[in-house]
Amino acid sequence: MKDRHLSLNQTQRVRLEAALHELQSLAPAAASAAAVTVADTIPVNQEDNILKGHGTSDQDGEVVATLCGVVERVNKLVYVRTLRARYKPEVGDIIVGRVIEIAPKRWRLEINFSQDAVLMLSSMNLPDGIQRRRTAVDELNMRSIFEENDVICAEVRGFQHDGSLHLQARSEKYGKLERGQLLMVPPYLVKRKKQHFHHLEQYNVDLILGCNGFIWVGEHVVVGEKTKPTGGQQRFSTEAENFTPLETRKHICRLANAVRVLSALGFTLTVELIIETMEASVSSNAEINDMLGAEFYVQTAEREAKRRADLLRKKNGAR
């Protein structure tokens, strides 16, 4: 928990504790039963031959956890889902990463995985949009596509035979991300969903929830427009012309701060929750910078506790 960085006063501390306590009490009872730590024995029925998945090992015929987390059971498979760990890629995940190196025919990206991901020149669409073999000239012009420290959105293609992770960006929605903020949150807070790209029309903002815990909040880009050739001098002139309006920039900052608050509290990030938090900040007249302060932090915790309590009540009432 990062609330140590906040200077809470006495009332706020009490309120926060109450809210967190309520959140914990609202969690399903199964959650506490399934939590394991390193070297805990996982109770299994030895007769139905189970499959030991990630985070488990066999010691003297017992299944023992090698990680801290939550035990998940899928039919015969028993595995431990970690909470605070690095990202574990799965094929097809949408991720946001940062270019750290340009190597021959490939970019190396930092994606919060145990190794750097590789984006091959051949596994992305060229800016001119033509399908053709990549030539030596393309290879020399790689910096005109992505430079070091650029933020990129891509998809996980899979592991190569040598164990390296390859990405692909074969669609117009992938590519360089500009005019926005990159936020890094623990990957367990982002759940795999159908939709990871979100265009928030009311704010003219794009929100990308990368499965690796990198979250992009930026100005909305019309798909197809960003494939315009952007070379050298021309780029600077266009950048100066169509700058991001102040209103949009404020929205970006508000959304980004909402994500920061939610991740500091440790809530699973969904678009609905982010927008709700942002709107709450607007309606409570909180300044953008006050969103990271103690008062809003406590308010967010209380609001979420209330929301979950209401949901639970509704669910129980329906039964």
Partner 1 sequence: MEYVNPLTGFRVDGRRPNEMRQLKGEVGVVARADGSALFEMGNTRVIAAVYGPREVQNKGQQVNSNEALVRCEYRMAEFSTGDRRRKPKGDRRSTEISLVIRQTMEASILTHLMPRSQIDIYVQVLQADGGTRSACINAATLALADAGIPMRDIVTSCSAGYLCSTPLLDLNYLEDSAGGSDVTVGILAKMDKVTLLQMDAKLPMDTFENVMGLAIEGCKAIASYIQECMQINDLNLSKIAVPTMDITQPLKSLTCCGWMAFVHCIAVHRNFLGLLERPMEYVEGPVGLLLSPKSRRPQNSPSHFVGIW
Binding footprint of partner 1 on the chain (CB under 8 A): 1-2, 4-5, 20, 23-24, 26-28, 31-32, 35-40, 55, 57, 59, 64, 66-70, 82-86, 91-92, 114-116, 158, 163-164, 188-189, 265-268, 270, 273, 308, 311-312, 315
Return the SS3 of 275.
helix
Residue 148 and residue 176 in contact, taking contact as beta carbons nearer than 8 Å: no
The residue among 66 and 144 lying less far from partner 1, judged by its C-beta, is: 66
The residue among 83 and 230 lying less far from partner 1, judged by its C-beta, is: 83
Residue 97 and residue 115 in contact, taking contact as beta carbons nearer than 8 Å: no
Least distance between partner 1 and beta carbon 175 (Å): 20
Least distance between partner 1 and beta carbon 308 (Å): 5
Q: How many distinct helices (H) and strands (E) make up the chain?
A: 8, 16
Buried/exposed code over 158-179 (b: 16+ C-beta within 10 A; e: otherwise): eeeeeeebbbbbeeebbbbbeb
The residue among 85 and 102 lying less far from partner 1, judged by its C-beta, is: 85
The residue among 81 and 249 lying less far from partner 1, judged by its C-beta, is: 81
Least distance between partner 1 and beta carbon 55 (Å): 6
Environment class of 314 (CB within 10 Å of its CB; exposed 0-12, middle 13-18, buried 19+): exposed
The residue among 9 and 268 lying less far from partner 1, judged by its C-beta, is: 268
Least distance between partner 1 and beta carbon 102 (Å): 15
DSSP state letter for 127: T
Least distance between partner 1 and beta carbon 281 (Å): 20
DSSP state letter for 33: H
